[in-house]
């Protein structure tokens, strides 16, 4: 069967660069442009903790997807974990006084 046998976008840049794959799936050129346009460097904070934050948040989202907790519970736990991490690392946390989406 070979690389990219279906209409699912490949998850490796090397597959996007493969001429044979691109010849069989013309839509890949458009998909590649969209991937590059939609992931600007400024999309994510440039802090060393970003990977940890995404892991904590992702873990809680999976709990909600599995219906082991409500979305509100999972997001609140995620928020609490991220706040604790950032406070531990010396960031100013708790200065925002607006409502968060799930309130």
Q: What is the pLDDT of residue 52?
A: 93
| pTM exceeds 0.75 for this model | no
Residue 65 Ramachandran class (φ > 0 left, ψ -120 to 50 alpha, else beta): alpha
**Segments making up each domain of the chain, as ranges:** 13-42, 50-88
Walking along the chain (103 residues) 10 residues at a time, the average pLDDT comes out as 54 79 83 72 77 93 94 94 94 76 62
pLDDT at position 29: 82
What was the pLDDT predicted at 67? Answer: 92
Token readout for 94 is 């708790």
How far does Cα 59 stand from its chain's mean position? 12
Predicted local confidence at residue 59, as pLDDT:
94
Look at residue 53 in the predicted model and tell me its pLDDT.
93
49 near 86, Cβ under 8 Å?
Answer: yes
């Amino acid at each position: 069967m070979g690389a990219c046998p279906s209409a699912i976008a490949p998850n490796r840049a090397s597959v996007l660069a493969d001429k044979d794959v691109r010849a069989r799936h013309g839509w890949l050129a458009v998909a590649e442009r969209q991937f590059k346009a939609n992931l600007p460097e400024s999309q994510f904070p440039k802090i060393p903790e970003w990977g940890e934050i995404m892991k904590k948040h992702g873990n809680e989202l999976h709990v909600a997807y599995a219906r082991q907790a409500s979305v509100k519970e999972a997001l609140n736990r995620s928020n609490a974990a991220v706040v604790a991490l950032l406070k531990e690392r010396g960031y100013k946390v708790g200065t925002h006084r607006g409502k968060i989406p799930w309130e």
